[in-house]
Each structure stands twice: as C-alpha cells, then as structure tokens.
Chain A
C-alpha cells in the first residue's frame, strides 16, 4: 500500500473530472497484482474522517460507483441494494437486488423451491443434486479456484513438529496413504475434483500439471514400503511405528475445525488410512478462530483447512514465503500456515512479481507450486466449488464468472446482477400474503368464535347439569 499512496488524481482544467493516474512506485510490480483490491474512495466522504473515525465508519450511506448501491441494511436479516442512477455503464431493468440471510440452509433451499428467492449461494451438498433436477431450477457448481488441503508443520515457525514429519519420506508416505477420490466421493458427495497442488487463481492456467509419476497417488502398500525402507518400524507391535532406532512413536496431533461441515469426517478417514500404515493421529477439535494462534505458535503437526484465491495468483502464492511465518517479534502473523520456508520459492516469487509477460509468469508460478508440492508439506486433495442454484422462470442472463465454469453470483465482479432481465411472464413484487394463510386465519377466527359461544352456553346450563 505504501507504493500506491503516491498515486494521485488531478483534474484536467476546470470541470474536467478525469483523473491523472500517473504515479511513482518504489519497485516494479506486475500490472494485474497492482490493480487488485484497490478501491477509489470519494474524498468528500473519507476526507472528513480522522484516522480513528475511519476504523469505525460503517459505510452504510450508499456511496459507491457500481451498478447498485446500498439502500437498506438490516443486520442479520437482509441487505437491499438499488440501481445506481449515476452508473457509468448505463441502466438495466433490475431496480434492486436483495440479499436475504438464512441461518437454516434447508429453509434457504425451500425458499428457492417455493420461489421466495431467485438464487441461492452455499447450497448444502445434500440438496444440490435434488435441486439440479427440480423444475425451473438450475444447480451450478461454481469453480473459483477454492481448494482443501491437509497441512503439515514445516518446522520453520516458533515450534517444530514431531521430528518424523521433518523427514520427507514420512510426508510422502502420508500423501500416498490418503485416498483423495474417496474423500471427494464420500465427504464432498462427489462435488468438486481431485487436486494435486495449490490453486492460486480461478483461472486453471495457473495450476501446474504434475506428471503422473510424481503425483502422490493413493497407494498404501507404497506408503508402507517407504516407511519400512526409511527405518520406521513397529518394534513393540502396538500398531504404531517408532522413529528409526526406536524411540518416539509416530503419533501426530491433527487439528479439526469443529465448525466445518467437512473437517470432522475428513479427519475420520485420514485417521483410518494413517492407522493402516502405522501412524496414529491425535484429533484435537477446535473452533476455526482458535486454530490461528495454534498455527502461529507452531503447536501443531497437521490440520485440514481451505483457501479461496483471488483472481491474480500473487496473493495466494505470497502467503507461503518465509517472511509470512510467525516470529517471536510478530507472533500474530500466520499467513504461511504450513510454517514452510524455501529460499528458492521466495526468489521465484520476486521473479514472477516483476514479470509482465503472462506466459513467462505462469511458468515461474508453476515452478513455485511444483516446489511446494514436492515438499509434501501441503497436501492439497480437492478443488471445491461454490454450490449455487437459481430459478429460470423469472430472469434470464445469469452469467458465470469465470466464464463457463464459475459461479453465477458472489464471483469476483458478479456481472450477473447487471446482466439480468426479467422474463416476459414475470410479475413484480414478492410472495405477499398467501391465500392459504388468509383462509387459515379466517378459519381459526371462526373456530375461536364458535368455541366461545359453546362455552358460554355450557356455563349457562351448568346449574341444570349439577
């Protein structure tokens, strides 16, 4: 950000608001990475705020330059946006987009099926297939490069892992013991695809092709052989191997994020597979928030987590540099959650950062990710898409981003909202109060009146009955 602060905007003459985007930066950066996540801020709003006020500024006044601006925000309920009359791209038929918040995923799916909402994001995997075959509904697997991995402590942080994990043989054996396809089929219900390396971008061009001979394919026999050859034997016949020459058993701590739907079942599968090759894992269940400090202190051997990258790969690959590991001076820095440090990786990162030719940059990034893959500290096993669904009987113009493979909403720039047009048969407005509800309420009211009349008559004749 220090580089970008030196950019400035100057009007060309009176009344001309075209900015002069010339500026100076300290070192060259590839254009795409420089432009990511850089927002133009209106000075008449932000210029009035002090440094402390900026951190408390809620930003709910609807100032924006996109096709829609914030209109109403009910925390925990919905966000209503309305068409921006000043949008440079012109106007479209959609007047507003409302984002409703559901805390019950099944209710969200029901709302989509009923027609209360037009699209749903984060559809539960159990409902995804059913929605795909529902009338007037399309289910979308939106690939944005998101991936899941099992990370092993690389030992370059504040604390080293079990010494066996610093031996590449053990890490490779672990990789061969994990059946990625089974994880995908049984835990992710077959939604997604098996992966070999970190995915640094929704654009698959940035993902290197790992030759089949170098992939860590599921092969428990090979895993056992590797460990045997490396001298890890189970001398006391308790089912768990020990360090070469006897000593510390191969028991590793494995952190499971308790608030993840997939982490606990993945842990169960991994525990079983590693047991088959004489490795025991001690599962420790923690909340996602608690895992960060544990990683920072290096007090882990393994864990399962996931990432979703930005469009430009620089962000994702930047996290695995040596200076992204927590230190005694900065114990809260844990972007590099593998605690892995390779000077060659860092050198290549700097090289790609100034490479403006895309093909050459891709080649450098491929080399970086191959280095990381070969170290076996980060065992990526699946590309996990966003699960969405939308109705087809109200609007047309649902755009996927990236084209053909990405999600239709909550993508990088979400062009769908600006592209949608209502179908001719669509009527405005929402569900309103259903006829059934009115009938039910009227029926209940009539029943209540009849009950009151009945009890009053009974009370009048109570004396005779006694």
Chain B
C-alpha cells in the first residue's frame, strides 16, 4: 500500500469531517426553539435573568457570530453545555459512551461472528435443509423491527419467566463490586445484546452466503480438490478467506456505527447509552448535545470507513493498484 494511496484516503476523510462540522451547525438550527422558555416555564424570571441565561446557552448574537463561536469551540473539542443538564456536552457523551460501546460493540461482534459462521454453513450446503433453515431464520430476524423483537424478548424472558431484569444496567439495590458487579451488568446486558445480535445476524449471514457462493464457482477451488485436499480444508483455506473480503469491510463499517447506539433497543431496556441520549436530546431539542452527538457519530463513521478502505486495500492488492 503506497504512501500516496494512504495520504489520499486520509485527506478525503478529513475533508468529509470538515464538511460535517459546518453542516452540523446549520442542520439543527432549522428547528426554532427557546430552551430558556422551556426549562424555566413558570419560574417567574426577570428579563435580566432570562437574557443572562440566553447568553449562557450561547443564544445571543447573529447566526454568523454563533457560527464563528461554534467553530472556535469545536476546534478545542468544546461543544458547549447541554441545555438540559447544564454540563459540558463532552462529559455527558463520555459518561454514556461506555454502556453503548459495551452493548453495541458486543452485539456487533457476536452478530458478525455467528452471522459469518451461519453464512458459511448455508453457502457450503446450499439448497440443503440446513441452508433453507438458517437462511429463513436469519431473514426472519433481520426483517423484524428491533424494538418489536426487544419487546417480545422482554416480555418472554424478563416478565413471564423472570430470568432477566426488565431494564437498567445494574441492580440498584446491590452493593456488588469487581467481578460480581461485572456479572450483574452482563446479566442486565444479556437481553438487549441478544436483541441486537438477532436483529443484525441476517446482514452478515446473507452477505457471507452470497459472497461464498460466488467464490465456490472459482476454478482454483476445483484445482484444490483435484490436489486431494479435504472438503473442509478447501473451504477454510481457500474459499472462506477470499469470500470474507466484502464481509470484513461490512464489519469495519458497522463498527463505525457502534457509537450511534441503538435508540429503540436502549429505550426499551432503559439502557443508558448514547442512543438514548440522542433520543432525549431530540425531545428538547438540546441543540449543543445534538451537535456534539452528531459530530461524534460522524467522526466515528468517517474513521471506520477510512479503516475499511485501508483494510480492503491491504487484503486485496487489486484495489491499491487501480
């Protein structure tokens, strides 16, 4: 992979980020709102107090003035203060990032691993009962709305059977620490993770199946069999690595979406992640929070797209020489 290739990709990613930063400012100002009025409705503030609050929230000045102030602050990674919590936006985002990374990260990993395995089995035994069964199952779960699936699992396993808690990230009445606390959090995370894993399993399974079926038609596999290699070896050493290319980039891109969370699933399970934070910010609307979240999500997607580009070029030499 040449330095020129990498530099070109990095500059493209940075240019996209700059565009997003500028677009971010104007996007949320389409919605007119008055956070001071909403937060302090009925509080009998004086005019001076209201003007001071508006200044605190950065609502004073023309749009151009606000835009310049926004660019200066963004360059310092200062996204202002949240309208609803009055705390620095980055503090709130940082606090809620870890539950999302844990939940969506684990779910993405599990759905990728199991999806790829299912895709391999379905493709290698295509038109068999195993193929029809697995393909049907993954298509069914993939087509289900994730919030509906979440409610089903919640009612079945948390409410009816009582095997899991109905929401939250931890048992508030427990004093557990260390490993016990981790086990408690894993217990709380099981159902939301299962929901997301099932919801996105089909994406990887279907792509892997399709890619492997294409690869299975290649002549070098016929040669490999002719050389006497066992079927399993032909599959694992020759077919799968080549079929994995599109799936690897899909996984890399999807990891970029980890931070944006899963709004519906986090709301159903009261999982205090960034998805729920986005939903709460949209209800305000909490402009600084929305701006900060949008920027963080966009930066993550841009970064992982760059990783996917470079990874694909590393795995497939044909790409870097084009």
Q: A residues near B, CB below 8 A?
A: 55-56, 58, 74-78, 80, 98, 100-104, 106-108, 110-111, 113-114, 116, 259, 287-290, 292-293, 296, 307, 315, 318-319, 329-330, 332-335, 429-434, 436-437, 440, 459, 462-463, 466
Name 27 A/B residue pairs within 8 A (Cβ), A-sorted: A56-B86, A58-B87, A74-B272, A76-B96, A76-B277, A101-B270, A102-B270, A104-B268, A104-B269, A106-B151, A107-B158, A108-B167, A113-B159, A287-B283, A287-B285, A289-B285, A290-B33, A293-B34, A329-B47, A330-B47, A332-B34, A429-B173, A431-B165, A431-B171, A431-B173, A437-B164, A463-B230
B203–chain A nearest beta-carbon distance, Å:
23
Which residue from chain A places its CB closest to the CB of B50 in the assembled complex? Answer: A332
Which residue from chain B places its CB closest to the CB of A337 in the assembled complex? Answer: B41
B45–chain A nearest beta-carbon distance, Å:
8
Which residue from chain B places its CB closest to the CB of A331 in the assembled complex? Answer: B34
CB neighbours (8 Å) of A75 from chain B are 85, 92, 95-96, 272
Which residues of B (32-74) have their CB < 8 Å from a CB of A? 32-38, 41-42, 44, 47, 50, 54, 56
Which residue from chain B places its CB closest to the CB of A429 in the assembled complex? Answer: B173
Contact of A437 among B35, B163, B276 (CB under 8 A): B163
Complex CA gap A56/B38 in Å reads 19
Given contacts A102-B270, A104-B167, contact A289 B35 (CB under 8 A): yes
B309 contacts the other chain (CB 8 A): no
Complex CA gap A286/B173 in Å reads 40
Q: Contact: A429 with B174, CB < 8 Å? A: yes
Q: Contact: B38 with A289, CB < 8 Å? A: yes
Q: B residues near A, CB below 8 A?
A: 31-38, 41-42, 44, 47, 50, 54, 56, 85-87, 92, 95-96, 151, 154-155, 158-159, 161-174, 183-184, 187, 190, 230-232, 266-270, 272, 276-277, 279-280, 283-285
Q: Contact: A430 with B32, CB < 8 Å? A: no
A200–chain B nearest beta-carbon distance, Å:
12
Contact of B168 among A78, A106, A114, A329 (CB under 8 A): A78
Which residue from chain B places its CB closest to the CB of A115 in the assembled complex? Answer: B162
Q: Contact: A430 with B163, CB < 8 Å? A: no
Which residue from chain A places its CB closest to the CB of B151 in the assembled complex? Answer: A106
Q: Contact: A437 with B41, CB < 8 Å? A: no
CB neighbours (8 Å) of B154 from chain A are 107, 110
CB neighbours (8 Å) of B50 from chain A are 330, 332-333
Complex CA gap A113/B277 in Å reads 27
Given contacts A75-B92, A293-B33, A334-B37, contact A432 B268 (CB under 8 A): no
Q: Contact: B272 with A433, CB < 8 Å? A: no
15 new A-B contacts, CB < 8 A, other than A107-B167, A431-B165, are: A75-B95, A78-B172, A103-B267, A103-B270, A104-B269, A107-B268, A107-B270, A111-B165, A293-B33, A296-B37, A315-B44, A430-B174, A432-B174, A437-B163, A462-B230
Q: Contact: A432 with B167, CB < 8 Å? A: no
Complex CA gap A232/B172 in Å reads 63
Contact of A114 among B47, B162, B183 (CB under 8 A): B162
CB neighbours (8 Å) of B277 from chain A are 76
Which residue from chain B places its CB closest to the CB of A462 in the assembled complex? Answer: B232
CB neighbours (8 Å) of B36 from chain A are 332
Complex CA gap A259/B92 in Å reads 23
Given contacts A430-B171, A432-B171, contact A292 B41 (CB under 8 A): yes
CB neighbours (8 Å) of B85 from chain A are 75
CB neighbours (8 Å) of A290 from chain B are 31-33
Contact of A293 among B32, B47, B162, B165 (CB under 8 A): B32
Complex CA gap A270/B197 in Å reads 45
Complex CA gap A319/B56 in Å reads 25
Q: Contact: B162 with A434, CB < 8 Å? A: yes
Complex CA gap A434/B151 in Å reads 20
A52–chain B nearest beta-carbon distance, Å:
9
Given contacts A110-B158, A289-B34, contact A319 B42 (CB under 8 A): yes
Which residue from chain B places its CB closest to the CB of A57 in the assembled complex? Answer: B86
Q: Contact: A335 with B151, CB < 8 Å? A: no
Q: Which 8 pairs across A and B sit closest by C-beta, in order of nearness?
A: A430-B173, A292-B37, A76-B272, A436-B163, A289-B33, A289-B38, A107-B167, A110-B159
CB neighbours (8 Å) of A335 from chain B are 41-42, 44
Which residue from chain A places its CB closest to the CB of B286 in the assembled complex? Answer: A289
CB neighbours (8 Å) of B283 from chain A are 259, 287
CB neighbours (8 Å) of B44 from chain A are 315, 318, 335
Given contacts A103-B270, A107-B166, A462-B230, contact A293 B37 (CB under 8 A): yes
